[in-house]
Amino acid sequence: MFKLKPWAQNLLLILGSVVSGIVIVEIGLRIAGISYPILYTHDQHRGSALRAGAAGWQRDEGEAYIQINSDGLRDQEHSKAKPENTLRIAVLGDSYAAALQIPMEKTFWSVMEKELSRCKALGGKDVEAINFGVSGYSTAQELITLRHHASDYEPDIVLLAFFTGNDIINNLIVLEPEKIKPFFIYQNGELVVDSSFRNHPQYLLEQSLPLQTAKKLSDYSRIIQVIFRLEDLIKASHYKRLQRNDSEIAELGLYHSIYKEATDSAWQEAWQVTEELVMLIRDEVREQKADFLVVTLSNGIQVDPDPSVRQEFIEKLGISDLFYPDRRIKTLGERENFTVLNLAQPFQAYAEKEQVFLHGFENTSLGSGHWNEEGHHLAGQMIAQKLCQDMIKDVSYSG
């Protein structure tokens, strides 16, 4: 009878113990309901994108089960060919459109879709809203999403959800902390895509076979999810330390300078690039014979239900207008002939009247962070009303 040598027996014993330990930890994590789905992957055009087929619970801010469809959208499945008798709306945006904090059916684009089904101007057409939002996206990435993704779905209306809190800094490489993404830069007086992120070591690692394999295995292993989670926490901690030392920070990720006329050269360029990117989106939407709507969202302080909290913030910053960035985008639309809906002003009136917070969650803090369910519901209603009253008639009879 074959007998293993002592060293081989010890090795098998160690391996068995390791495997047993891994199984026990894996079972324990599942029993405890601990999961951190790996939702993102690399993208050659946009730097990053949602990972097709990824799914799991998100509980960092709010709580929702997240399911990414087969085309990398936080949405249900949609055919690229538009169904007959259908008004299709493509939603471009960042984390507010991705809306990972709440269930999909509670998001503003889902509410908007339902509300529009009652719009008489549609003449019985079905409404289909498709969400292309990805957390952290800049206006540049949203333009590229339109070019390489959203246009394939033949939208009748393209809705740009513009978040004034950080969309402006996201568009200029010297202000944006996250560098692994495309930027638009000036060459011979024109904006062109700078895709040099493809040479960044972190991006090269992201597209490597070992990391891609680990992400796929994470769908079946909570331990791998926890390992990725620890890495994300280390990066986030470093980022927060940098931000806390920055006097420009109003709220983590949001900047004081959005509330006043830019005097710093970098901010002036950031605004200029941002406005030109919005106009590029407008132009490309029109080339596709679709209509274009920009919706400026809200920052928590703008819509705090307590006027004294807002006034204290205004006095601390030495500013006069919490709605400066919203009005600036509105003015751009009036000058360049595209429709803009500002939500922050009516949101403030609603929050003060009803004494409710439209941002924040019980497991984070009320009044800051992303929209909660009430914020999304109000936004969905207001956007649907705007579309039905001012835009649907032209679109529904355009052929």
Condensed to tens digits (0 to 9), the pLDDT of residues 168-219 reads 999 999 999 889 999 999 999 899 999 999 999 999 999 889 889 989 988 8
CATH number at residue 328: 3.40.50.1110
Residue 262 counted as domain residue: yes
Q: Which domain holds residue 361?
A: 37-207+253-396
Query: Does the pLDDT at position 324 exceed 90?
Result: yes
Determine the distance from the C-alpha atom of residue 266 to the mean position of all C-alpha atoms in its chain, rounded to a whole number: 24
Q: Specify if 53 maps to a domain.
A: yes
Angle, CA of 223, 226 and 228, to the nearest 5°: 115
258 vs 186: CA distance, rounded Å: 22
Quickly list DSSP for 141-188: HHHHHHHHTGGGG--SEEEEEE-TTTHHHHT-TTT-S--SS-EEEEET
For residue 266, is it within any domain? Answer: yes
| Model confidence pTM above 0.95 | no
User: Tens digit of pLDDT for each residue in 381-397?
Assistant: 999 999 999 867 555 43
Residues making up the chain, counted from first to last: 399
Name beta bridge partners: 90: 130, 158
Angle, helices 265-287/324-336, rounded to nearest 10 degrees = 40
Q: Where are the beta strands (DSSP E) in 190-338?
A: 190-194, 249-251, 254-255, 291-296
Residue 251, pLDDT > 90, answer no
1 pLDDT higher than 70: no
Residue with tokens 């719009």: 119
* Helices vs strands, H then E, count in the chain: 14, 13
Asked whether residue 29 is domain-assigned, the answer is: no
Residue 306, token pair as written in the block: 């307590």
**Closest by alpha carbon to 359, among 165, 167, 176?**
165
Return the pLDDT at 397. 36
* pLDDT (mean) for 307-321: 91
Cα-based distances in Å from 13 to 3, 4, 268, 275, 331? 15, 12, 65, 64, 72
Residue 238 within a domain: no
CA distance 166 to 176: 9
pLDDT for res 30: 85
Report the range of poorest mean pLDDT among 147-161, 228-242, 286-300: 228-242
| Confidence (pLDDT) at 242 | 52
Distance (Å, rounded) from C-alpha 208 to C-alpha 161?
32
In whole angstroms, give the CA distance from residue 388 to residue 291: 13
Structural domain contains residue 298: yes
Nearest Cα to Cα of residue 38 among 304, 182, 217: 217
For residue 11, being part of any structural domain is answered with no
* Structure confidence at residue 133 (pLDDT): 98
The mean per-residue pLDDT over the stretch 323-347 comes to 97
Question: How many independent structural domains does the chain possess?
Answer: 1
Strand partners of residue 388: none
Question: What are the phi and psi torsion angles at 105 (to 5°)?
Answer: -70, -10
CA nearest neighbour of 144 among 92, 75, 99: 92
Q: Could you give the CA distance from residue 296 to residue 298 in angstroms, rounded to a whole number?
A: 7
Least confident of 28-37, 299-308, 348-357: 28-37
